[in-house]
């Protein structure tokens, strides 16, 4: 089942790649190649968080972002990803409502602070 999902994911990524290569987009290499590399690392490994961090660390010298902007974007993206993941909290039959409420009470302020800090860093960076 996992192999079928990987094949399906790689086929969809190849379709996207083919469409971009057909079109005349100058920003393809700067933006979309790192995204495809991160996607493939995510699909091929079990430890997605470590693979994503390794991909960002490996690709950061080639991106147009400095360390400050990369840190700000990592804060915003991590907060958004954890918020989306929090939507699935309690989806299992083995969780209780009190555990879900406890997790949400702990996670929501951290998500808000991380996204606010990242957005402030991105905003301040525009004026520097």
Domain membership of residue 122 as a residue range: 65-128
C-beta pairs of 21-28 under 8 Å, 24+ apart in sequence: none
Co-location of 84 and 40 in the same domain: no
pTM of the shown model: 0.50
Identify whether residues 16 and 47 lie together within a single domain: yes
56 and 111 both lie in a single domain:
no
Same domain assignment for residues 28 and 76: no
Is 119 found in the same domain as 74?
yes
Which tokens go with 111?
């998500």
Give residue 83's Cα distance to chain centre: 12
- Indicate the number of domains in the chain: 2
pLDDT at 13: 56
At 124, list the tokens.
């301040």
**DSSP code string of 47-111:** -HHHHHHHHHHHHGGGSS--HHHHHHHHHHHHHHHHHHHHTTTT-STT--HHHHHHHHHHHHHHH
pLDDT digits (tens), the chain, 128 positions: 555 555 445 555 556 556 555 555 554 555 556 666 666 555 554 455 555 566 666 776 777 767 777 778 778 877 887 777 777 766 666 677 777 788 788 878 888 888 899 899 888 877 76
CB neighbour class for 79 (10 Å; exposed up to 12, middle 13-18, buried from 19): buried
Cα-Cα-Cα-Cα torsion 11, 76, 63, 36, nearest 10 degrees, comes to: 0
* pLDDT at residue number 31: 57
According to the model, what pLDDT value does residue 116 have?
A: 92
């Amino acid at each position: 089942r996992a192999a079928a999902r990987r094949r399906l994911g790689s086929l969809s990524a190849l379709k996207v790649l083919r469409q971009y290569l057909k079109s005349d987009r100058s920003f393809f290499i700067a933006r979309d190649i790192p995204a495809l590399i991160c996607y493939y690392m995510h699909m091929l490994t079990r430890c997605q968080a470590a693979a994503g961090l390794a991909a960002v660390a490996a690709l950061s010298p080639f991106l147009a972002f400095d360390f400050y902007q990369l840190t700000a974007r990592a804060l915003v993206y991590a907060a958004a990803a954890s918020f989306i993941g929090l939507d699935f909290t309690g989806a299992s039959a083995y969780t209780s409502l009190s555990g879900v409420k406890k997790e949400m009470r702990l996670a929501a302020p951290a998500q808000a602070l991380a996204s606010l800090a990242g957005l402030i860093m991105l905003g301040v960076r525009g004026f520097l």
